Amino acid sequence: MKFVSANGASIPALGFGTFRVPGPDAERMVSHVLANGYRHIDTAQIYGNEAEVGEGIRRSGVARGDIFLTTKVWVENYKRDAFLASVDESLKKLKTDYVDLLLLHWPNQTVPLAEQIGTLNEVAKAGKVRHIGVSNFNTELMRQAVKLSSLPVVTNQVEYHPYIDQTPVLRAAKQLDMSVTAYYAMADGKVFEDAVLKAIAAKHGRSIAQIVLRWIVQQDLIALSKTVSEQRARENAAIFDFELSSEEMTAIHALAKAAGRIVSPEGLAPAWDKAA
């Protein structure tokens, strides 16, 4: 397993994501992937499966200290008292006394960012959280978060796949010593019909999912893989024994489109950065 270092955190480059994974499947798959080499699990309060993720971790038999566990505070819980209570609830559901990474799930302008970041710092200093970060932040919000925080902000988790140009976010993260965690890597299934990706996959004797995940981790980013199939989960983990050429990396980057973003919910999404 490769690790990504950012602001004092060492994060496994491949994580297992549980967005839209129903409770029973989340428990089954978390237990399975941990027993088969994954060490990074990603969930969130709004996913409604923290309890099953926690049970999957317990069932896996893998020591808690060997697992990098991420969850996210939902936007309705950003006021300090609600934030603190929600973190305690998450820890209880996850059956652990700390999470390795806690993220603000989306921007929410109804609560001052200083209050959000301040409470993130508070739970970290209380030992309930090892590292803090953000999700779905644009570059201006990333910079504000870092400026407001007395602790390092280690990642911004954003939509990233071959059809979206996230150069501004990647550049800002590098300047701020932050990592970028990529979700929606398969672009809601669009990658599986792509001729360029099919050709690269055929050349390497790999699946398209492996090619896309490799493309992400080869940029020294963190990729979240999601599946409810044990076989696919095993395949998705087998991305550290081959490399894409610089020409192949460039060809995949070239698939980006101006309208490539898929996830932009009204009322949550910030003003996204325009790619150069």
Is residue 47 flagged as an active site residue?
yes
User: 24: Cβ–Cβ under 8 A, 6 or more apart, which residues?
Assistant: 52
- Closest C-alpha to 208, from 195, 221, 192, 223: 192
Q: Are 153 and 180 in contact (CB under 8 A)?
A: no
Residue ranges of alpha helices (H) inside the chain are 23-35, 50-60, 80-94, 113-125, 139-148, 167-175, 195-204, 208-217, 230-237, 246-253
CA dist 119 and 123 (Å) reads 6
Question: Which whole-number Å values give the CA distances from 66 to 39, 41, 57, 105, 154, in the listed order?
Answer: 7, 11, 11, 24, 19
Catalytic residue chosen out of the listed positions 38, 47, 160, 183: 47
Report the catalytic residues. 47
